[in-house]
Structures are given as structure tokens and as C-alpha cells.
Structure 1
């Protein structure tokens, strides 16, 4: 295991839950920040979320807010802001896009979709189990989806 300095920056992706008026955080992923630009991207994305909830969503003619995952690509913070685009998942690779479209169109409760449901839905792409797992990990790492009731159920952020 790699030792981390006490002055290191980390990124935590997880869930905030409330039970009996007590809030808790469940960390799904913890990563060492190696590119300090990620901190500034986070601040910009947090600002975009604030603007989304205080001023409303962007229109199709509005600008696409850059995100930590690349210019104009939806992330945990900017997904709502670019959600008015015709295909908000167009910038993802084909397998990730299929996963996101399936989840967006089928999730009906807070439990989300199981990995098995996701795999069955995207099997038409011909992707192997490893590729599906890698795609789910990439979407989780970027904060696009997150684990819900366990490590086998996910929902769109």
C-alpha cells in the first residue's frame, strides 16, 4: 500500500444518507489527487451545481460547462446542467453510453440497477464481462454513477 503524506489531496466519491435524523457518508471510491487542476475543476463544477439549483437548468442554446472529465462531458457536478441536450450521454464511449441510457430509462427506485441487469441490457454490444466492469468502474470513478444498497447496485448521479 502506498503511503500518503498528511498534506495530500484526495477525492472521495460516495453517498450521503440520512437515518433517524443522522447523516452519514459511505465512500464508494477514494483516489489520490495527482493533478492539482482537479481541485479547480471541482470548484467550477460545484459552482455550476449551485447555479443550476438557484438559477435553473441551461437551455440548449446555453454554454456547455467544462467538467473534470473533459470539456463538455457530463460529470457528477455538471450532469444536470447539460441534461437539456438532446443526448446528454453522446460524449461517452459507446458501452458507457449504453449503460447510462439503460439506467436512466429503467431505474424506478433508490436501489438502482444491479450489475446483472446492466450486463443483460448491454449484451447486444458484444462487450465482455471485463469490459462492462471497466465501464462501470470508469463511470463510478468520474462520479457519473454511484453504488446504492451494495457494491452490485448503481444509479445515475
Structure 2
């Protein structure tokens, strides 16, 4: 049986419409999270983050972020140990916004311990913001807990 060119064009058109319809339905089931709920206001204040990052680079060594089986430890440089610190630690998960954790910076002998029980087994970007002696510091570090 020979198919005429009009039927071929109709089949092609119907196939294209079905393909586009399938893609639209699939895209409506996709879950997208913004990096931050206040993304635009955060962008306006980003110069403060740049300045804090420059301050952090003046320290003798970067802030250390290490993980073991029980906890994630954050080691502060010698210049910051023993000082009154205020700040936050943000564990940002690019996979799912519900896995993000933000906690205050509470130091014990210049180190911070965060239990792995509150974190998921995924890759995190650890964003550390702190202030010591009126000077702000900021550092981002990668942390892979998926292993």
C-alpha cells in the first residue's frame, strides 16, 4: 500500500504535536528551586560578599572544612581563634532546597562541629559568613558527603 504525500505530512504534523505535548506535560512535573527566596535583594547586596571574601583571603590560611563519619568540622585560622565571633554556616544543596541547612556559628576552641545526622548524603557548598572585631569574612567550600 502506497501512502500519499498528504497523509505523510499529516502523520508528521500529528507526531510533532504529540512530541511537544509530551514535553509540556513532562516540564510541568519538574521541580525547580531558586538559589534563594530573596534572590534579587541578595544580588543587590553582593558587593558586601565580595568585600568579605577579600578580607578572608588576607587570613594566614583558609577556613578548613572537613568531614568524618560522625561530624563535619570547621577549623578557623589562628587569627580568629579566641575572638568573639558572630556568623552563620549555610550548607547549600544544589540538588534540593529542603536539604539546605543554616545554623549559627558556635565555636568551641576555635572549631565548629556539625553532626552529619542533620545533613543529607549529597554534595554541599558550605557558605561561611562571620564577623570578628568589626570585620566581615566570607568563604565558600565544596563538601561531598555522598560517599
Q: Give the TM-score normalised by structure 2.
A: 0.26
In terms of fraction of residues, the more strand-rich structure is 2
Larger radius of gyration: 2
